[in-house]
Chains A and B, each alone.
Chain A
């Protein structure tokens, strides 16, 4: 059975949003924009793989190449960037989608570009040298201040006004629901900020920060890792903080960064959000770097000069370590497709693997090809490792069941004109308090276009503990149903939104990002995931347990360094 409008709204936006929906009865069907469609990742190959699809390349279509990078998201492209930076060019990136970028994705219309996925990166702290270098290459970091902090060119920093909150029937400045806050609420907010400041200044015996970016550099002192045991909501309560406003702020932050509620997010991850992107006590959150189209310019830059080293529409279907080929097997035996899953080389080599075979499937031509590589960087989501890497679990003894993923809905609304403004003007980030959605960012904000048509990008993670069944149904909801939910959400703050919207597209992210639930960060499973499996190296934001650009970038660079060390 399909979900009713009310069920859909409740699932996506939460109970408070329901109050605004008319009571049951006959109503005219709600007005929808004239145009729009439902978009998503390419599911076909993934589903076929799950059903045992295992194409075999012709013997003649094998190729030798020192390195294959599987996945052209931030982590895979960062590995490629790092290779080139270190003067190594003998690699190929295989990416399943028609466009590289993974969860960084954007669209274009005649007015402006707009994001479909990741849309900001906080300005790096001075310690993150490689990221600073990348940003300097792009002209985003324009100089270094006397105290060593990178100076970001102002046009890349989020422009004021940055954020506002729709609370109690009106827009207010900032994200804290301050209207009507009691002295106790404010005291708790203050105490929370002081606690964050304490963590910002905290150092372990080795001088490491409690929460660092990349998270790999964070302290593993038990004081810090202990935080991973509980949810951040529970942690707040344990500090004696029960202010609903404070809980809302923390809950919003977790939904925004991780797609999880505060009850579902580990306190480690919750505090990471606040403390890792702050330089010193009282210095406040690092300013945000953003572009109208979200993080896509980072992808374009990583892609620069890569040329044919990136193959898109190339779905990797199998990765298998193989030993040295026996003399008779070089070159590969005569033509004739082999029905077996074992390559000629693997069959004949009892010795330790000295290379890795990567089978990939061209989603355009629908033909398979193979690459024999010395090393592979696996930069695809971790849950795919057992599906793609031959005998992964048997060989490594690793499980991946703790890697859980949330789904997200992202909508882009094309408006012919802006909603009416009150005292607090349209900001970059516009959040609605009584909603499980994250509100919207304004694509024209960074361009300086402050009047007339614009594009709003609406984000909504699915984080309530709905049944699997409901979630499946949600992912099957039609465009019309989803468009209506988006408009119902925004209508509360902008009653005229349906009249203003000329087009509304919705993007469904099935496996949008890994979930830092309590215990995951400190789990053996996660900690082991970055350890190479022989010649297969791992890079992906999943390995950090938090889906952030900086993490993906760091893992990509680290994996590239690992490979180069192995070659040395």
Chain B
């Protein structure tokens, strides 16, 4: 290579560096803003705050650059590495703090400020490096041009490609990787300006950072399937795979959505309709419910409705997945939505398979005046067993005389055989059953069953202490739920038993035909 080209090539490449640095810098800012508005709501405030802090931090960085005397090149590489680490891990760090700590806001603003300072240091240092090769006007115009092109690139890529295709965590890690690559590359481009003895150390550290980010990217692949966000439509704010299921929480501007194994469990926008319909018919019909059993419902939202009744003395909630109940107890938006119901001293959480728990006689806080059965739809044999005659028979052993039971029964419109199979199966286990329905916009037409070993009351009055707090139900609406339109007319089905699991077959056929 001639001496000439050695001087030329780096110049073009350095501009490319400016482009990358500028793009990544803006992406970090957008990431922080988006995350803050997802997690904390209030988009305008969050974006303003994040932008304000970020810009002022950049200013601080620019000002600090004057303190760098000597070893400018080395400083530049080190700062790049810093940006790669902090920026690259910013989204994972923020998700983690949000889920498990109340320190979210300080961490958020601190991180935004730190990244801002580092990014603010980048350009002044780079310009000082280039000063030797260019005259001032040229330098400023070129660097700033690339800086602004980078900003444009970031603002286009971020909403159109990065977030929808990669998700927030991967976007952040990818930008970190780019910054780290710039740092490693810098050790070659700027070699004439770097002292020999620091070279190996710098490159080693650059490789280390690259490695860490790569590993995190691979892990992120396991944490959230790349396609998942695309499928669910909204950004994922929490995802974990427990021993029992995959729990994913998404968030959009209107609220939260909880998915278990890809099936929507609730949308915070209209979950009150579902949970009021599930809980109040049995609890109000039970007159003064003291002891209540909840099977499933680890999100705590049915609990919230139950705890509205002043007569409640004890609630036992049985959910198989400690991952779910812990999340509901600790994850701020869920905790808020359930009004911290899971932390109520009257509530006992049991993490066990409801089938196994129900099969054990006695104990466990019974006999119960009411039971709320809120299992996922019967899409697998492991869940289908919770809709069998055997299960309902075992349940009887835990009920006080005259106790009322409600069951979520999937959509009677989409899956009429599934719906009526539940009703028939409960009847075969000795229950009197009154099926009912409610409109839950994000689910559609939804089905429930109210059951008791005694005839189920024909008229239900919502307890006066409760009715004013409800948004969906009043006495008229509640009793109206029991009149089914003709398109939900009863059909004959098999009884769901452990040894036939007819319901799993019905459910599969009906929902597949619908999709």
Contact residues of A between 450 and 471, Cβ < 8 Å to B: 450-452
B504 / chain A contacts, CB cutoff of 8 Å: 160
Most buried by B among A153, A158, A159, A417: A159
Distance in angstroms between the alpha carbons of A452 and B243 in the assembled complex: 7
Distance in angstroms between the alpha carbons of A430 and B390 in the assembled complex: 24
B356 / chain A contacts, CB cutoff of 8 Å: 447-449
Instruction: Determine if B498 and A425 form an interchain contact, defined as CB atoms under 8 angstroms apart.
Output: no
Residue B389 contacts which of A154, A425, A447, A448 (CB distance < 8 angstroms)?
A: A154
Stretch of B50-58, B177-185, B365-373, B377-385 on the interface side: B377-385
Distance in angstroms between the alpha carbons of A450 and B504 in the assembled complex: 15
Instruction: Determine if A450 and B353 form an interchain contact, defined as CB atoms under 8 angstroms apart.
Output: yes
Residue B359 contacts which of A448, A450, A452 (CB distance < 8 angstroms)?
A: A448
When each residue 368-402 of chain B gets 1 if its CB lies under 8 Å from chain A and 0 otherwise, what string results? 00000000000011101100111000000000000
Distance in angstroms between the alpha carbons of A451 and B244 in the assembled complex: 7
Distance in angstroms between the alpha carbons of A155 and B388 in the assembled complex: 10
* Number of B residues, CB within 8 Å of A: 21
B243 / chain A contacts, CB cutoff of 8 Å: 417, 451-452
Interface range on chain A (Cβ under 8 Å from partner): 10 to 19
Residue of A nearest to B505 (CB): A160
B359 / chain A contacts, CB cutoff of 8 Å: 447-448
Residue of B nearest to A160 (CB): B501
A447 / chain B contacts, CB cutoff of 8 Å: 356, 359
B318 within 8 A of partner (CB): no
When each residue 140-158 of chain B gets 1 if its CB lies under 8 Å from chain A and 0 otherwise, what string results? 0000000000000000000
A168 within 8 A of partner (CB): no
* B501 CB to nearest chain A CB (Å): 4
B384 / chain A contacts, CB cutoff of 8 Å: 160
Instruction: Determine if B353 and A451 form an interchain contact, defined as CB atoms under 8 angstroms apart.
Output: yes
Most buried by A among B320, B380, B498, B504: B498
Distance in angstroms between the alpha carbons of A417 and B242 in the assembled complex: 13
B380 / chain A contacts, CB cutoff of 8 Å: 425
Contact residues of A between 432 and 453, Cβ < 8 Å to B: 447-452
Question: Known: A154-B390, A425-B380, A448-B353. Is A159-B498 also a contact (CB below 8 A)?
Answer: yes
Instruction: Determine if A157 and B499 form an interchain contact, defined as CB atoms under 8 angstroms apart.
Output: yes
* B322 CB to nearest chain A CB (Å): 12
Instruction: Determine if B385 and A451 form an interchain contact, defined as CB atoms under 8 angstroms apart.
Output: no
Residue B381 contacts which of A154, A158, A425, A449 (CB distance < 8 angstroms)?
A: A425
Question: Known: A161-B381, A425-B381. Is A449-B499 also a contact (CB below 8 A)?
Answer: no
Instruction: Determine if B498 and A451 form an interchain contact, defined as CB atoms under 8 angstroms apart.
Output: no
Instruction: Determine if A287 and B499 form an interchain contact, defined as CB atoms under 8 angstroms apart.
Output: yes
Distance in angstroms between the alpha carbons of A448 and B381 in the assembled complex: 10
Instruction: Determine if B381 and A155 form an interchain contact, defined as CB atoms under 8 angstroms apart.
Output: no
Instruction: Determine if A154 and B499 form an interchain contact, defined as CB atoms under 8 angstroms apart.
Output: yes
A449 / chain B contacts, CB cutoff of 8 Å: 353, 356
Residue of A nearest to B499 (CB): A157
B113 / chain A contacts, CB cutoff of 8 Å: none
* B495 CB to nearest chain A CB (Å): 9
A153 / chain B contacts, CB cutoff of 8 Å: 390
Contact residues of B between 230 and 259, Cβ < 8 Å to A: 243-244
* A463 CB to nearest chain B CB (Å): 30
Contact residues of B between 475 and 515, Cβ < 8 Å to A: 497-501, 504
B389 / chain A contacts, CB cutoff of 8 Å: 154
Majority secondary structure, A binding face: loop
B355 within 8 A of partner (CB): yes
Instruction: Determine if B320 and A158 form an interchain contact, defined as CB atoms under 8 angstroms apart.
Output: no
Instruction: Determine if A450 and B500 form an interchain contact, defined as CB atoms under 8 angstroms apart.
Output: no
Distance in angstroms between the alpha carbons of A287 and B389 in the assembled complex: 17
Residue of A nearest to B502 (CB): A160
B244 / chain A contacts, CB cutoff of 8 Å: 451
* A506 CB to nearest chain B CB (Å): 29
* A252 CB to nearest chain B CB (Å): 22
Question: Known: A154-B388, A154-B389. Is A451-B382 also a contact (CB below 8 A)?
Answer: yes
Instruction: Determine if B499 and A160 form an interchain contact, defined as CB atoms under 8 angstroms apart.
Output: yes
Instruction: Determine if B382 and A155 form an interchain contact, defined as CB atoms under 8 angstroms apart.
Output: no
Instruction: Determine if A160 and B500 form an interchain contact, defined as CB atoms under 8 angstroms apart.
Output: yes
Distance in angstroms between the alpha carbons of A9 and B384 in the assembled complex: 39
B382 / chain A contacts, CB cutoff of 8 Å: 425, 450-451
Instruction: Determine if A160 and B353 form an interchain contact, defined as CB atoms under 8 angstroms apart.
Output: no
A159 / chain B contacts, CB cutoff of 8 Å: 381, 385, 498-499, 501
Question: Known: A161-B381, A425-B380, A425-B381. Is A448-B355 also a contact (CB below 8 A)?
Answer: yes
Distance in angstroms between the alpha carbons of A123 and B355 in the assembled complex: 24
Contact residues of A between 175 and 230, Cβ < 8 Å to B: none
Residue of B nearest to A427 (CB): B381
* B470 CB to nearest chain A CB (Å): 36
Most buried by B among A153, A160, A162, A451: A160
Distance in angstroms between the alpha carbons of A77 and B244 in the assembled complex: 43
* A425 CB to nearest chain B CB (Å): 6
B498 / chain A contacts, CB cutoff of 8 Å: 154-155, 157, 159-160
Residue of B nearest to A288 (CB): B499
Instruction: Determine if B499 and A158 form an interchain contact, defined as CB atoms under 8 angstroms apart.
Output: yes
* A155 CB to nearest chain B CB (Å): 5
Distance in angstroms between the alpha carbons of A417 and B499 in the assembled complex: 25
B353 / chain A contacts, CB cutoff of 8 Å: 448-451
* B489 CB to nearest chain A CB (Å): 28
Contact residues of A between 144 and 172, Cβ < 8 Å to B: 153-155, 157-162
Residue of B nearest to A452 (CB): B243
Residue of A nearest to B321 (CB): A451
Residue of B nearest to A417 (CB): B243
Residue of A nearest to B388 (CB): A154
Distance in angstroms between the alpha carbons of A451 and B353 in the assembled complex: 9
B355 / chain A contacts, CB cutoff of 8 Å: 448
Residue of A nearest to B394 (CB): A155
* B240 CB to nearest chain A CB (Å): 15
A157 / chain B contacts, CB cutoff of 8 Å: 497-499
Instruction: Determine if A448 and B320 form an interchain contact, defined as CB atoms under 8 angstroms apart.
Output: no
A450 / chain B contacts, CB cutoff of 8 Å: 353, 381-382, 385
Distance in angstroms between the alpha carbons of A443 and B420 in the assembled complex: 32
Contact residues of B between 53 and 88, Cβ < 8 Å to A: none
Residue of A nearest to B384 (CB): A160
Distance in angstroms between the alpha carbons of A425 and B385 in the assembled complex: 14
Distance in angstroms between the alpha carbons of A449 and B244 in the assembled complex: 11
Distance in angstroms between the alpha carbons of A160 and B353 in the assembled complex: 17
Distance in angstroms between the alpha carbons of A162 and B504 in the assembled complex: 14
Contact residues of A between 268 and 304, Cβ < 8 Å to B: 287
Distance in angstroms between the alpha carbons of A150 and B498 in the assembled complex: 17
Most buried by B among A154, A162, A452: A154
Contact residues of B between 260 and 312, Cβ < 8 Å to A: none
Distance in angstroms between the alpha carbons of A56 and B515 in the assembled complex: 80
Distance in angstroms between the alpha carbons of A159 and B320 in the assembled complex: 20
Distance in angstroms between the alpha carbons of A162 and B501 in the assembled complex: 11
Distance in angstroms between the alpha carbons of A541 and B389 in the assembled complex: 36
Instruction: Determine if A154 and B497 form an interchain contact, defined as CB atoms under 8 angstroms apart.
Output: yes
* B496 CB to nearest chain A CB (Å): 10
What are 17 A-to-B residue pairs whose CB atoms are below 8 Å?
A154-B389, A154-B498, A155-B390, A157-B498, A160-B499, A287-B499, A425-B381, A447-B356, A447-B359, A448-B353, A448-B355, A448-B356, A450-B353, A450-B381, A450-B382, A450-B385, A451-B320
Other A-B pairs beyond A153-B390, A159-B381, A160-B499, 18, CB < 8 Å:
A154-B390, A154-B497, A157-B498, A157-B499, A159-B385, A159-B501, A160-B381, A160-B500, A160-B501, A160-B504, A162-B499, A425-B380, A448-B353, A448-B355, A448-B359, A449-B353, A450-B382, A451-B382
Task: Please give me the 10 A-B residue pairs with the lowest Cβ-Cβ distance, nearest first.
Answer: A448-B355, A157-B499, A450-B382, A160-B501, A154-B497, A159-B498, A154-B498, A154-B390, A155-B390, A448-B356
